[in-house]
A and B are shown apart, each in its own frame.
Chain A
Amino acid sequence: MHSVVLTKGVPDFREGQVAFDEDGHLERGNTPTVMNPNDKHALRTALQTKVRHGGSLSVMSMGPPGYGDVLREAMETVYADDLYLLSDRELAASDTWATAITLATGLQKLDDTPDLVFAGFKTADGETGHTGPQACWCLDWPIITHVVALDVDEDDSTVRAKRLVEGDIEEIETVEAPMPAFIVADPEFEPTYRKASHRLTLKDLQAETAERAENHEEHLTTWDHADLNLDPDYIGLDGSPTIVSSVDPIPKAPAEREATMVDPDDGEGMSEVFEAMQPFADGRSAAGD
């Protein structure tokens, strides 16, 4: 088994971390880069597969050379064997399509063809959810999205998954695909390790990876567009068909907020707080979509 996880760095959108210029544009230089939160589900799904079935696991990312921390975190999370970074000025400003072509080419270039490729469900910056499926389309592999449980039959070279179908009601369907295949993990995915042997494997992996993650650069292969033999017309800004028609400035939070102190033992005061919060509580499911 060889698995690959695709991950990327995104601006840290947590309050207090993110910096905007006067026009409301994101200041990348002043905003720390962190791993795309949804990729963590992909990493956890891939790790479960590695623990249950063994084999090797690689992490691949497209991005600037300074992605060290993100790759290191990925390595520590899935105890990856090696890291790949597709990085080059020519690749800058790629949209999802150009990124997908680049990633698909990177995946094809690997010595050991992956059996499974894992991607996160949408990024925190673009929020399109396109890159994984488009990369898969380039490879002409089957894809299973919204995966909440996964099982591999190595003898049969198939992958079986439970996926969450969100419609009027949430429904779980079971699907099967031949490998190699593409898996997009759903945030609902919860890895389970209910066998002692699995937990022992995890412990082994943790011990083995500690030193590797410390020197993760030694396990990193960087490819530029020439290594990947990519036509400059199909990558970077030139290869990106997406046109952004306009950008709405993000409304700024008022610099000063009014705060009212409420004593938690004051019953009346507390019920006013709950009343004030009610509209937000009701809108929670819509906001989370």
Chain B
Amino acid sequence: MTEDYEHYEAVVVGAGPGGAAAAATLARNGVETVVLERGVDAGSKNVTGGLIYAEESAPYTIDGIFPGFREHATERPVTDYYIHNIAGEQVRTFDITDGHEQDTEWADAVLRRKMDSWMARQVHEITRETGGGLLTEVKVNGLLEEDGEIVGVTCEELDPIKADFVVAADGVNSELAREAGLMDWEEPEEWFQGVKAVVDMPGDTINERFGIADDEGEAHLFSGDLYDGVRGGGFLYTNQDSLCIGNVFHLDSIVEEEAEVQDLLDALLTHPVLAQWLGDDYDEREYSAKLVPDSKKAANPSPHQGRLVLVGDAGGQMQAQGPIIKGMNHAVTAGALAAEAFVEARSRGEPDSAGERYERRLHDEGVMAKLRPARYEVASALGENDTTTRLAERALDSSVGRLGVRMADRVGLLERAYSSPYLATMMPDTKTPYVTLPTIIGEELGATVEAESTVELPSLEERIGDLTYDTDVGNPHIVVEDNSFEASGAAVTACPVSAMDYGGGCYRDETVQSNGDEKRVVSLDTQPCVECGTCAIVADTQWEHPRGGKGVEFREG
């Protein structure tokens, strides 16, 4: 009965920046394109830090694809960029605006619900003209295959749809990429986890506390000893009338340290360095979390198969340039390049060559080189092993090392080093750059922060309680396959809505007694799940997205 299925020239799965850029570019070239998004609204499932970058060297920027983007979809441009090295209450701050501005045409703070839903309206209008359009509350749950070839997608809420071109822009937890065997969710080293709070603050107060005007914005980054040795860092970005504050950590480090990620967020929020901005009337609008792929390890150099291409996080294309995080811009570039590849392939009468052409463009335009820099491969091969790390740590922590740090600061080397994207992209993923060096900088060069934090933070229970949630009773989207603590226990602490001694989150650690035996097991209740995807990697689960429109709905993102 497959003849009865509807056919569109292109199906784009996901209406994040990658999907939006792909769909708009396809439709502008006359390709009949339908976009399927599982959220109740575009952006309702998405979380970002988030600064969106327009790179000078990039073949596409978001405002090029969506004129009026900065005016309608963003918060504030980032005009000042700082990094704070923290040791206890001692902080040494560097101004790294120069580094941030290299290859940056502009960078704006964004909230995803506002940004994505604005783009979705544009996308719907553009794609509608081709006979397609954008639909929300539709979850694509698989690839439609005929004789072993991908010919379209299957959906939870719609009949299967056939297409000549399938764009998986379904983000970090791409079920399509996984089904096609183009991505696996096995290795915690390949992922970061981001946890964040959107904090309410009137625009005037932001201007006053940060000393900026309406059309200015700040980015602050934090690293050092405030995270109990977990590798990663914090961020604070100014929006129009709110702040985004959060942490991004290496997932393997969270697991190794058995870190409670919500506590690490609290550690940042209550640190005296934030007290100067937060005051004491702390009002959290939203608590959220999401996984982020580390392109250095996860970007697929050949992200396509048959008619399927992967763009953005689905292809692992999220770049951590040291403390600067670039995912959205790469998703945009990849989406537009994939669309262009299909248009060209179609015009030559070889639509099935779109994937090959897309891969070539990713390489030719220098995107792959940014995502997986060769210098990182070299640096990591040399630096990411226990012996070198131990040696480096010992050297840094010695009196000679500390003297070196002081000297380097005196001649401005540290600030310049932090401002160098070149160095940032080759930074090894060890404790040294994330924890040891910033702590030593804080200790050796920092000044004690005067302010004292008086903020009262919501409990985990309150944070979960405040989330908008369309429960899907009887349809769990996660199934624990092995509930022994050895196999799935890491989820208890790493899940941002669960905690070791807390019974109201998704994962609980329990001891079951049977026949005189005691067994430590993990039980799951997916109700407060924020769909971050963490447990898909750290636990033994069958993980899927909830059905279209169901599950968590982010109002800010």
Contacts and interface: CB of A to CB of B under 8 A. Distances in A.
Interface of A: 194-197, 199-200, 203-204
A204 B135 CA distance: 11
B124 A194 contact: no
Interface stretch (B155-163, B353-361, B450-458): B155-163
Interface string B33-57: 0101000000000000000000000
B6 interface: yes
B128 interface: yes
Contacts of B8: 196
A204 B138 CA distance: 17
B128 A194 contact: no
Given A200-B128, A203-B124, A194 B159 contact: yes
A196 B124 contact: no
Interface string B1-44: 00000101000000000000000000000000010100000000
B133 interface: yes
Contact of A195 (B36, B132, B133, B158): B158
A203 B135 contact: yes
A203 B6 contact: no
Contact of A197 (B6, B36, B138): B6
B159 A199 contact: no
A146 to B, nearest CB: 27
Given A194-B159, A197-B6, A203-B124, 8 more contacts: A194-B158, A196-B34, A196-B36, A196-B158, A199-B138, A199-B158, A200-B128, A200-B133
B157 A194 contact: yes
Nearest to A200: B133
A195 B135 contact: no
A199 B34 CA distance: 11
B31 to A, nearest CB: 15
Interface in B431-481: none
Nearest to A202: B135
Contacts of A194: 157-159
16 contacts: A194-B157, A194-B159, A195-B6, A195-B159, A196-B6, A196-B34, A196-B36, A196-B133, A196-B135, A196-B158, A199-B138, A200-B34, A200-B135, A203-B124, A203-B133, A204-B128
Ranked nearest first, the 3 interchain pairs of A and B with the lowest CB-CB distance are A200-B133, A194-B159, A199-B135
B229 to A, nearest CB: 41
Contacts of A200: 34, 128, 132-133, 135
A195 B161 CA distance: 8
Nearest to A197: B6
Nearest to A195: B6
Interface of B: 6, 8, 34, 36, 124, 128, 132-133, 135, 138, 157-159, 161
Nearest to B34: A196
A213 B551 CA distance: 32
A204 B127 CA distance: 13
A252 B6 CA distance: 57
Residue among A194, A195, A196, A203 having the largest count of chain B Cβ atoms under 10 Å: A196
Contacts of A204: 128
Contacts of B161: 196
A90 B161 CA distance: 55
Nearest to B137: A199
Contacts of B159: 194-195
A3 to B, nearest CB: 24
A200 B130 CA distance: 12
A194 B155 CA distance: 9
Contacts of A197: 6
A204 B158 CA distance: 18
B417 to A, nearest CB: 52
B187 to A, nearest CB: 36
Contacts of B6: 195-197
Contacts of B132: 200
A234 B124 CA distance: 53
Residue among B6, B8, B36 having the largest count of chain A Cβ atoms under 10 Å: B6
A260 B158 CA distance: 48
Contacts of B133: 196, 200, 203
B318 to A, nearest CB: 29
Nearest to B135: A199
Contacts of B124: 203
A196 B135 CA distance: 8
Nearest to B133: A200
A204 B129 CA distance: 12
A194 B158 CA distance: 4
A199 B132 CA distance: 11
A197 B4 CA distance: 13
Contacts of B36: 196
A35 B133 CA distance: 33
A32 to B, nearest CB: 30
Nearest to A204: B128
A149 B124 CA distance: 31
Nearest to B11: A196
A200 B136 CA distance: 10
A197 B5 CA distance: 11
A260 to B, nearest CB: 28
Residue among B8, B128, B133, B159 having the largest count of chain A Cβ atoms under 10 Å: B133
A51 to B, nearest CB: 14
Contacts of B34: 196, 200
A191 to B, nearest CB: 13
Contacts of B158: 194-196, 199
Contacts of B135: 196, 199-200, 203
A200 B36 CA distance: 11
A164 B132 CA distance: 36
A197 B391 CA distance: 63
Contacts of A195: 6, 158-159
Nearest to A198: B158
A203 B34 CA distance: 13
A148 to B, nearest CB: 20
Contacts of B138: 196, 199
A67 to B, nearest CB: 33
A281 to B, nearest CB: 20
A197 B132 CA distance: 8
A203 B120 CA distance: 13
B301 to A, nearest CB: 33
Contacts of B157: 194
A196 to B, nearest CB: 5
B6 to A, nearest CB: 6
A200 B124 CA distance: 10
A195 B155 CA distance: 10
A203 B6 CA distance: 18
B14 to A, nearest CB: 15
A194 to B, nearest CB: 5
Nearest to B161: A196
A203 B134 CA distance: 9
A203 B41 CA distance: 13
A76 B263 CA distance: 48
B81 to A, nearest CB: 41
